[in-house]
């Protein structure tokens, strides 16, 4: 396989730069070959470990389609190996292979269809108006704090039956888990260099906070069922399998973290992209109904909120003419694949009318394709429609501040994004 001497991909500094700069480097890396070998130190063990960066669309599709040869059960959300308990605690069934994966995903899928979630889908517009009402009179805000952060998380909390009084608990915990080691989100001083043990401790504290909260809600629903997703998951039909309590808690962590932060990141990047490309903003604003479907897909393609997923080779196998050995770690970088010129014309251009748009922003084909893709698309579409209608001149006033990740982050989040707009009154006033 091709070995690259470029060190930037594994350094924190690489991920602290603007999206376009990172993608320009990925374009150069992609031309060196589809499998690029890197070595980096595992901070837990102190040992050097190797992985292969996968940057081409063809290869990402191949790995995704072949779960028996490229498994998730040895680790899918971390470049390094983690203990099985930690993997499943934070990753639920995306850290599993069949038949365990099929069982748990099947249980959740019964209650996670558009028909079953119709009430949630309908509430998206109400919650979008709610968060806009809270900031529309100010004229200047941090979009992440005012819109991107609360909007999808409120939807998830309402969907699961989490009381609004516990919103800050969920927000703080999810920020820590997906902060990728950002010292500010972990609660450390900017100049503090916390030991890895302290960071791991913060992660598990946050996971336990979410677990405790969900267990309390589940216990209440066992006694007094309602129409929320938690009730549906613990009151299945007599012949249906159900999630065990620890499985339910792990699913909530997955939903609260991944389902929240991916939509948050797509909205933040989308506003930034539209501010940088006013011609595309004009095209979309002139035809909201016609352009929204393709614009949402283009935001997901260009932003690629989920940075990577890992697969591990279960046997010696060849892909694209390259020999892969059993045990090799393969890191699929979705953003790089989503700008592969072999698939997309003019891939670095943000085009809200792009069609077709066969991106892998929700993962590649196969058993681990994003279960909540339909909800994420709905959320992004509704929020941009509301912003265009209610705050039509909203634009950024400074560049996005990315997460200060310790290395390749699972989600390429934006921490702050200042915006300005003409103040307007909340609805009903």
- CB-CB neighbours of 374 under 10 Å: 15
CA atoms within 13 A on the CB side of 320: 16
Bigger pLDDT: 147 vs 239 = 147
**pLDDT exceeds 70 at position 109:** yes
In the chain, the N- to C-terminal Cα span, in Å, equals 64
- Supply the pLDDT for residue 237: 65
**3-class secondary-structure state, position 63:** helix
pLDDT at 7: 41
Q: What is the DSSP letter of 146?
A: I
Residues 6+ apart with CB under 8 A from 5: none
CB–CB of 283/291 below 8 Å? yes
What was the pLDDT predicted at 416? 96
3-state secondary structure 114-144: CCCCHHHHHHHHHHHHHHHHCCCCCCEEEHH
Q: CA–CA separation, 18 vs 403, rounded Å?
A: 11
Q: What's the topology of domain 2-420?
A: Cytochrome p450 (1.10.630)
Give the model's pLDDT for residue 238: 56
Given this model, what pLDDT does residue 5 score? 46
Q: Please give the Cα distance from 76 to 329 (Å, whole number).
A: 10
Asked whether the beta carbons of 350 and 271 are under 8 A apart, the reply is no
Q: Can you read off the two tokens belonging to residue 292?
A: 């929204």
Neighbours of 398 (CB within 10 A): 11
The candidate with the shortest Cα–Cα distance to 256, out of 343, 190, 159, 324, is 159
Question: What is the C-alpha R_g of the chain?
Answer: 21
Among the listed ranges 42-51, 197-206, 298-307, 387-396, which one has the minimum average pLDDT value?
42-51
Quick one: pLDDT at residue 36? 94
- What pLDDT is recorded for position 83? 77
Q: Give the separation between CA 352 and CA 284, rounded to whole angstroms.
A: 7
pLDDT, position 429: 63
Q: Give kind and range of the element (H or E) at residue 102.
A: helix 100-111
Percentage, residues of the chain above pLDDT 90: 67
Length of the chain: 429
Distances in Å between the alpha carbon of 58 and those of 53, 285, 346, 370? 13, 34, 17, 19
pLDDT of residue 110: 84
Query: Helix (H) and strand (E) counts for the chain?
Result: 17, 13
* Summary mean pLDDT of the chain: 91
Per residue in 210-227, pLDDT (tens digit) is: 999 999 999 999 999 998
The burial of 223, by beta-carbon neighbours within 10 Å (0-12 exposed, 13-18 middle, 19 or more buried), is given as exposed
What average pLDDT does the segment 98-127 reach?
A: 87
DSSP code at position 404: -
| pLDDT band for position 85 (cuts 50, 70, 90) | confident
What residue segments make up the domains of the chain, in order of their start? 2-420
Q: Is the pLDDT of residue 206 over 80?
A: yes
As a whole number, mean pLDDT of residues 229-247 equals 81
pLDDT class of 257 with cuts at 50, 70, 90:
confident
pTM of the model as a whole? 0.94
CA dist 105 and 368 (Å) reads: 9
Which tens digit of pLDDT belongs to each residue from 4-60? Answer: 444 478 888 899 889 999 999 999 999 999 899 998 888 777 788 899 999 999 999
User: Given this model, what pLDDT does residue 8 score?
Assistant: 73
Q: How confident is the model at residue 69 (pLDDT cuts 50, 70, 90)?
A: very high
* pLDDT value, residue 4: 46
To which residue do tokens 């996670």 refer?
112
Q: Give the integer Cα–Cα distance in Å for 53 and 49.
A: 13
Q: Which helix (H) or strand (E) holds 45?
A: none
Residue 239: which pLDDT band, with cuts at 50, 70 and 90? low
DSSP character at residue 231: H
């Amino acid at each position: 396989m091709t070995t690259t001497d470029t060190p930037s991909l594994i350094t924190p500094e690489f991920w602290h730069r603007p999206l376009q700069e990172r993608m320009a480097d990925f374009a150069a890396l992609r031309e060196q070959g589809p499998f690029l070998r890197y070595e980096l130190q595992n901070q837990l063990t102190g040992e050097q470990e190797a992985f292969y960066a996968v940057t081409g669309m063809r290869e990402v599709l191949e790995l995704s389609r072949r779960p028996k040869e490229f498994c998730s059960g040895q680790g899918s959300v971390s470049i390094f190996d983690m203990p099985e308990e930690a993997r499943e605690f934070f990753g639920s069934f995306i850290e599993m292979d069949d038949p365990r994966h099929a069982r748990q995903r099947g249980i959740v899928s019964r209650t996670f269809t558009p028909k079953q979630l119709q009430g949630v889908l309908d509430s998206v517009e109400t919650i979008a108006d709610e968060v806009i009402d809270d900031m529309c009179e100010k004229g200047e805000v941090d979009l992440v704090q005012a819109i991107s952060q609360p909007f999808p998380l409120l939807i998830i909390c309402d969907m699961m039956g989490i009381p609004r009084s516990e919103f800050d608990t969920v927000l703080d915990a999810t920020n820590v888990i997906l902060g990728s080691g950002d010292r500010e989100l972990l609660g450390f001083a900017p100049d503090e260099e916390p030991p890895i043990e302290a960071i791991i401790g913060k992660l598990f504290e946050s996971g336990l906070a979410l677990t405790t909260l969900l267990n309390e809600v589940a216990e209440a629903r066992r006694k007094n069922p309602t129409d929320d997703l938690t009730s549906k998951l613990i009151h299945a039909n007599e012949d249906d399998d159900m999630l065990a309590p620890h499985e339910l808690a792990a699913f909530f962590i997955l939903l609260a973290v991944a389902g929240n932060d991916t939509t948050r990141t797509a909205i933040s990047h989308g506003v930034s992209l539209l501010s940088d490309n006013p011609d595309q903003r004009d095209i979309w604003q002139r035809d909201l109904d016609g352009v929204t479907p393709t614009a949402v897909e283009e935001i997901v393609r260009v932003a690629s909120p989920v940075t990577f997923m890992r697969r591990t080779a279960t046997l010696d196998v060849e892909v694209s003419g390259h020999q892969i050995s059993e045990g090799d770690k393969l890191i699929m970088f979705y953003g790089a694949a989503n700008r592969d010129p072999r698939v997309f014309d003019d891939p670095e251009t943000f085009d809200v009318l792009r069609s077709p748009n066969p991106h892998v922003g929700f993962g590649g084909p196969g058993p681990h394709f994003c279960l909540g893709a339909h909800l994420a698309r709905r959320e992004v579409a509704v929020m941009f429609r509301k912003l265009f209608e209610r705050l039509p001149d909203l634009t950024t006033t400074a560049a996005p501040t990315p997460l200060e990740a310790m290395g390749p982050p699972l989600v390429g989040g934006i921490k702050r994004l200042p915006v300005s707009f003409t103040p307007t009154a909340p609805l009903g006033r």
